[in-house]
Structure formats: C-alpha cells, structure tokens
A and B are shown apart, each in its own frame.
Chain A
Amino acid sequence: MEPLFQSSVDEVDRLVGLKKEELSMLEDADAAAGELLVSEFEKYVERKFNPEASEVLKRHDLMGVPIDVKYGGRGARQLAESLFLERMGQTGMGVITFADVHLCLGSLGVQDWGTEEQKGRYLPKAAKGEVVFAYGLTEPEAGSDPSSMKTSYVKDGGGYRLKGSKYLISNGSIATHMLTFARPEAEGKKPTAFIVDTKSDGFSVDMRLEEKIGLFTSDTSMLTLDDVYVPREDVLGEEGKGFSVAYSSLLNGRIGIGSGCLGVMEDCLNQVKERATSRVQHGKQIAKHQLIQKHVAYIESSLEASRWLVYRAAMKKDECDRDRKDLRLRADADRLSAVAKYVSSRSAFESADRAVQCFGGFGYSIMSPVAKHFLDSRVARIYEGTDEIMELKIASSVLGQEFEAYK
C-alpha cells in the first residue's frame, strides 16, 4: 500500500478495528488508485473528462463501497469508506467528485431513504456500476439557498411531471439516474426528492461545463427537465420531505469530500518531500532551507489535524447509522461533518498552495504533480456547502437553533 495511506489504515485498524472485508476493500482501493494515476494525469493535462475512473472502480469492485452486502455492495462503514476516499483523493479531486456523488450522495441517498423495492431495483446495479448517480440540487438561482429552487412538479396520473433546470451537476452528463428535488407548483408546499432516469423524454444535457478553473477530469453539466415523467415508485422518501433527503445525503457527501481532501494533502506531502530532497539550489537540497521546512510542517500538521476531524465525523456517522432514531446523534454527526469538511477543504487548498510554492516555477505548470491539487481543491471549499454555509452551520450548532443565520 502507499505508505501514508498504509499508516492511516493501520492506525484506524489499531484504534477501531477494521473488518477483514473492509481491509480487503482498502487493498483494492490502493490498487485502483495506482492504476488511475497515469490516466488522471494525462486527461488533466488535456483538460478532458476521464472515463477511465469509473472503469477502474468497476474493475476493482469499488462502485458500491458503502452499499450493503445484501444489495451486492462492499458493506463498508462510513469510517472505512472515508479511508477508501482518502486513498482516491491522492489521485485528485476529479476521482473524488465522481465517487462522492455516486456513492455518498446517490447510492447512500437511496440506501438511507429508499423503499425495499427501490433499494432492490437500484442498489445492485449501482454496486456494479450499471447505474451511475448524479445529484441535482443546485440550480442557476439556488445554490447555498436550496429553498429558492424553481424546479417544480405536478401530479400526472400515477406519477409526476418535473420542469426546471439543474446547474453545476457533477456526473450530470454521464449518470444513468439523478437524485433530484422539485417543489409542487402549489405555493407554500415543500420539495420532494425523485430518482430520475436520465433517458426519460424531456431530460437533456444543456451543456457540459468545461470552462472550469480546475476539476477537468470530472464531468460537470447543466441539465434541463422539460415535463419529465417520473412514476410514483421513483419518489424517494415521503412527498414533501425532499430537504430531509437532500440534507442527509449532504451529510454523507461532506464526510466524503473531507476524506478526499486528506488524500490531496497526503499527495502534496509526498510530492513536496521528494522535490525538496532532490532539488538543489544555493548549493544544498531545498529541504535544508528552513522556509521550505515551514511549508512541510504546515502540510504535515494540517493533514494530521484534518485526519482526526474526518475520522471523528465518520465514526459519529457510523454511530448514527446504528441508531437512526436518535436525533441528538444525528445533529452531532451533522455538526462534525461540517467541521471536518470546513477544516480539511481549507487545509487541502492551503497545502496545495504551499506545495506549488515548494515546486517553484515548475509548480505553476499543470505538468507538475501538485498544480492539479491547487486548482481542484478550491472547489471543495464551495461544493456541497460553501465555507460560509459551513461556518453558519457550525456556529448555530454551538449557539442554538434560534441563531441559524441562513434562515
């Protein structure tokens, strides 16, 4: 195994005890990440989507990491899933974005909220990679404030018709199904979550958003739903409970993003260590210059600090999964996932910035192994809850509900 990942796995195993099946899944994750390295780099330099990511994950049976074994998944607890995403994060946030959306937002959304019939219909295929999920919450005019969403639905016979636009949707043009949210046309009613088949009449990819400042290997699209028919059996959760589905999926997703950011910091640390010990300037290895050591110390400390926040959030989520009725546990998991994402995404971006600095002029080229982390980790401070929304969530979790500033 890659040494930094190995040390994380060993430490978690020593403290918590990983199951044999989870350790085997993590071995597969390590092999898959190794296989993805070259294609991710090549596609990144070409600024193209990398179709290899899903193929490699399929080959190593990693498309259903958190999906229950009875539905054909690997049955990993959140903590083991976090370790999986930590290893994937070393290859870059492109792979993390794909995996986080398919696994944490999509598959876990169905697993947590679906009926037995829906789970049986979707999860075995998701675990094989025959179903790939996208998550359609954001709209052109509804980002941090999903309550301003405009996508609407009306009842039509045995189902519903959805109309609206979804914007900045990861996996948007490659997904077979999208968890999406729409509100009833009647005023004052709350949104509902739906599983939409992307082959449905009226569903279209408006544009693939390729003019990003990074994250080139991940698919991002704008989607249009023009009277898309969704049968009643594809309503996820209860009608009017769409935000509960959305927010619980985001809780999973935030731990996923935090986990990926650990991998980013690990790769930055590896790359900086190698560069600083092999590059000679002013007659000595740059690692012997104290100002370079300052960057190394920052990255290492940030990585260690973030690790325990992510693992703690993951463990709390596992605790929460064992007792879903305990709302206090859920609130704790929600708070810790926000803290983990907030700290680790900022730390990953700052670590990547410092890694670029250690690489000097070459660090500014996307041919350097750290530039992609600098460009890509920036988005982790925006998607699945911006820094500011995380700050408001964290603050109100301390101050009390009456201080929820975003309401």
Chain B
Amino acid sequence: MLLHLDGSNQIGASRDRVYALLTDPGFIAKTLPDAEDIRVLDGSTLEAKVKLRVSVVSSTVRMKMTIGKSEPTTKATLTAEGSGSGSALKIASVFELSGDAPTTMSWSADADITGVMAGLGSTLLKGFATKKVAEIFAGITKAVESAA
C-alpha cells in the first residue's frame, strides 16, 4: 500500500538553527510522539519502538530512522523502516527549508505499508497518517521554537 503525503509548516527560528536541529538524531528523538526505548546509534541514525494507534487498537513497530544531510541548510532527508505486529512500514521523506526566521519547512513523504495495517485501506490510512503527521510536525515546530 503506497501513500503520499506533503505539506509545509512555518517555524519561528533561523534556517541554520532549524536545519541543525532537524538533522540532529538526538533532537528528533525528543520530538517523536508515542515512542519509547529510543536509542541514538550515531550522528545520523536512531532506533525507537513506535506505538501506532488506530482508535482503541495499538501496535508497536520497531523503527530505524536515518537522517541524510543532502544540501545543508536547504534540504534533508529522513528514511524510516520497521516492522512489528504483523505490519511493515517504509517511509522516505524529504524536507526543504526556505526563508529565514521564520523558516518555511516544506516536506513530502512516501510510505509503503504492508501486512495487517495495509488492510485498513489507503483512504483510512491517509486519514490517520495526515492526523499523525500534523501532530509530529506540530511537535517539531514547538520543540525547535523553544530550543532556538
């Protein structure tokens, strides 16, 4: 099941600062909602158990996330891969920064979901993913602004 999501957020901080924090696995680890047992493996990789909740049902997926600094201060990538509870998930996302204080962060993500979770169907999954992604970016925006 392939899903595509995109959007943009405005962050009240300088672009250099936003880029530095977004590409710091230690910082990203702090902003992940419903994550536990987070381990920063090196300067670009982290692992976490992420709880995926759909209504009253939740499943735990062990995710490995890798941050790529493709074009410093303007573009970065985040790939995530994991499996658990009969489902597997691969996400490839790109972040592009423009402007400066406030910085506009445009992002796009392509997810490939297989197993039990895929059975929910793309319409519902997109609905849930949109809600979840909005929550994640609100968390990142808040954390960057308070850290800046």
Contact = CB atoms under 8 A, between A and B. Distances in A.
Interface of A: 34, 37-38, 41-46, 270-271, 274-275, 278, 359, 362, 367-369
Contacts of A41: 54-55, 124, 127
A362 B124 CA distance: 15
A271 B121 CA distance: 7
Contacts of B43: none
Interface in B50-106: 54-57
Interface of A is mostly: helix
B9 interface: no
Interface residues of B, number: 16
Contacts, number: 46
12 contacts: A34-B127, A37-B124, A38-B124, A42-B55, A43-B55, A45-B54, A46-B56, A271-B121, A275-B119, A278-B1, A278-B118, A369-B120
B55 A274 contact: no
Contact of A367 (B1, B120, B127, B131): B120
A38 B128 contact: yes
A275 B121 contact: yes
B128 A367 contact: no
Given A38-B128, A42-B55, A45-B56, A270 B123 contact: yes
A369 B123 contact: yes
B20 interface: no
A278 B122 CA distance: 11
Given A45-B57, A46-B56, A274 B121 contact: yes
Nearest to A43: B55
A37 B118 contact: no
A56 to B, nearest CB: 13
Most buried by B among A41, A275, A359, A368: A41
A278 to B, nearest CB: 6
B116 interface: yes
Most buried by B among A44, A275, A369: A369
Most buried by A among B116, B120, B122, B124: B124
Nearest to A368: B119
Contacts of A368: 119-120
A46 B53 CA distance: 13
Contacts of A38: 124, 127-128, 131
Contact of A369 (B57, B116, B121, B131): B121
A42 B120 CA distance: 12
Given A278-B1, A278-B118, A367 B54 contact: yes
A211 to B, nearest CB: 19
Contacts of B1: 274, 278
A37 B57 contact: no
Nearest to B120: A369
Contacts of A367: 54, 57, 119-120
A270 B131 CA distance: 22
A46 B127 contact: no
Contacts of A37: 123-124, 127
Contacts of A45: 54-57
Given A270-B123, A274-B121, A368-B119, 6 more contacts: A37-B123, A43-B55, A45-B54, A271-B123, A362-B119, A367-B54
A34 B120 CA distance: 15
A279 to B, nearest CB: 8
A140 B116 CA distance: 43
Most buried by B among A37, A42, A45, A362: A42
A376 to B, nearest CB: 16
Nearest to A267: B123
A1 to B, nearest CB: 13
Nearest to B131: A38
Contacts of B57: 45, 367
A106 B16 CA distance: 59
Contacts of B123: 37, 270-271, 369
A223 to B, nearest CB: 30
Contacts of A42: 54-55
Contacts of B54: 41-42, 45, 367
B124 A369 contact: yes
Contacts of B124: 37-38, 41, 369
Interface in B95-146: 116, 118-124, 127-128, 131
A83 to B, nearest CB: 19
Contacts of B116: 362
Contacts of A44: 55
A359 B127 CA distance: 20
A41 B121 CA distance: 12
B2 to A, nearest CB: 9
B16 to A, nearest CB: 37
Contacts of A369: 120-121, 123-124
Contacts of B121: 270-271, 274-275, 369
